Amino acid sequence: MREFHDRMLVDGAGDDIGKIVDVISDPIDLHPEWLVVKLGRLAGEHLVPVAAVDERDDRLALTAGKDAVKSAPRLKEHLAPSDVEREAVYRHYGLTESGTS
pLDDT, averaged in runs of 10, over the chain (101 residues): 80 91 90 91 86 87 90 82 90 77 54
**Domain presence at residue 2:** no
Query: What's the pLDDT score for residue 27?
Result: 84
DSSP letters along 18-87, please? EEEEEEEE-TTT--EEEEEEE-SSSS-EEEEEGGGEEEETTEEEESS-HHHHHTSPB-SSSSPPPHHHHH
Domain that holds residue 55: 8-92
Give 18's strand partners: 9
Query: What's the pLDDT score for residue 1?
Result: 45
Split into its structural domains, the chain has a count of 1
CATH assignment of the domain containing 79: 2.30.30.240
